[in-house]
Chain A
C-alpha cells in the first residue's frame, strides 16, 4: 500500500483491515446457519460487524468469513434469529492481536 492511499480519509476496506494483526486459526470459531438467515428480515450483522465479515450469497443466505474477526461479539448480539450465529472464542493464542488497543 502506498503512503498516499493510506492518507486518504476513507480507506479501501481491505487496506483498513490490513492494519490489523491476526494469527489465523485453522478452525472457524463461528458458524452461521444460512437456512435460518434466509428468513431474516433485518440482516443487522451485515451493517454492524466492524470487520465487514458477513456477505449475502446469491441464493439469499449469509456467508461468513472468520479469519479477520475482532472477536467483539457484535454479530451474535444483534442477530435476531435465535441460533443463526454460534460464536465462541478462537483457540488459545489465535485470532486478533491488537498492538494499539
Chain B
C-alpha cells in the first residue's frame, strides 16, 4: 500500500500546480521540497506571465505576492558604447487581468505551494529526494528521501528543477549537456521606491513596473542580460551560455559589473545597494534538448523537462512550469482511473503537452536557441543596427544626407557578412516569430 497516490518532487510552480490539481481531483498527494520552504532554492530572470493561472486560481492577481505589474517592456541591443532599445509601454497592462508581473520567487512559490496545501496536498519541506524506488515490476514506485525514509506512491512527478537528478537516474535525460544550459546570475539592488519610478519612467506611486531584456554587453560570452523593477529594488543580471562562459576568462559577476557600467544602464543602477547576489542554471536548449518526459511510474515537468522558453522576444518559464504541472496532473488522474501506471498508462501527458501552448510554443521556437546564441545575432547584427542609427541620427552638414539604404549597404559590405547567412537567419526568424 503506497503512502500517497502521487509524490511530487519539488514545490516550484510545476510541482505546486501538479499537487494542487491532483488534490482537487480527490487524490492523496505529497509535495516534497528540499529547501526549508518552497521557493528558497529558486531564482528567475524577470517576469511571471499569469494567464495560465486564470482558470486554476480565479482572481489570482488579488492574492499573489507580486512586486510590480509590467507596463513597460523593452528589448535592448548593446555594443560597447551604443544602445538601441525597442521600448514598448502600455497602460492596458496596468489593470486586471494584467500581462506580466515581477515577484520574488521565495514569496511567489511559497504562495503557490500554500494554494496546493489549501487544496489538500501534504507539503513536506526540508526533505531531499535522494533517488527513485522501483517496484518489483520495475516501475518507479516512490522516492528515497534523507529525512522521511522511502515515500511510496503509484506515480512520481519529478519537478526537481533544471538538474533533475530523478530524470537522469531514470535514464530519461541522456542528452543533458552544458551546451543546452545557461547560467543566470543576478544582483538585487535597493533604491527608494520613488527613485526607481523616476529612473524607469514609471508612473509615480503606482505598482507598475519595467522589464528590459538585453542582447550584447556580455563581454563576448553568448547570452544576454536583463533589468527589471521590484517595488523597492532593481534586479539586474546576465544569462551566459555555459560553453561560452567556460571558454572565457571573464567571471559571471564581472559580466554583471560590465552591464552596470554600460552608459545606458549605469544611470538606472547608480548608487543602489546590493541586497542579494544569486545564481541558477536555466534549461535554454528548447524543444530539441528536452528529456523524455514519461517513464514507467514517472513524469517530468517544469525546468526538469527543459521547459524554459528562451526565444529573444519571448523569455518565459514559470508559465510553462505551471502548464506542464497541470498536464501531468491530468495525465496521472487518467492513469489512476485506468489503474495503469506504466509508461503506456501515463503517455497521455505527452499528448496533453503537445495539445497546449507548452509544447506548441516550444516546437514553434525550436530554432531559437541556435539562432539567438549565434555570433551574428549576438554581436554582428546589433552592431550594424546601432551604426545605422548612429549615422542616420548624426547631422553632418555641410555634407548632404545619405539615405538609410546607402548607409546600410556600406555597413553590410564592411561587416563581411554573407547574404546567404542573413537569408537563413531571416527564414529561421520567420519560423519563430512569423
Contact = CB atoms under 8 A, between A and B. Distances in A.
Contacts of A88: 130, 165
Interface residues of B, number: 57
Contact of A77 (B181, B188, B248, B273): B181
Contacts, number: 139
B127 interface: yes
B278 A9 contact: no
B75 interface: no
Contacts of A72: 183, 279-281
B185 A97 contact: no
Contact of B41 (A52, A77, A98): A98
B35 interface: yes
Given A11-B274, A99-B106, A48 B128 contact: no
Contact of B106 (A13, A50, A95, A100): A100
Given A7-B273, A20-B278, A91 B105 contact: no
B183 A71 contact: no
Given A48-B245, A78-B246, A97-B36, A92 B128 contact: yes
Contact of B126 (A44, A71, A92): A92
A63 B91 CA distance: 53
A73 B35 CA distance: 16
Contact of B274 (A16, A23, A97): A16
Between B42, B106, B280, the greatest number of chain A beta carbons within 10 A of the residue's beta carbon is seen for: B280
A24 interface: no
Interface string A6-26: 110111010011011001000
Contacts of B34: 89-90, 92-93
Overall SS of chain A's interface? loop
Contact of B162 (A11, A73, A78): A73
Interface stretch (B77-85, B252-260, B309-317, B388-396): B252-260
Interface of B: 34-36, 39-44, 104-106, 125-128, 130, 145-147, 162-163, 165, 177-178, 181, 183, 185-186, 188, 230, 233, 235, 242, 245-253, 257, 260-261, 271-281
8 contacts: A20-B277, A73-B162, A74-B183, A92-B146, A96-B41, A97-B35, A97-B106, A98-B40
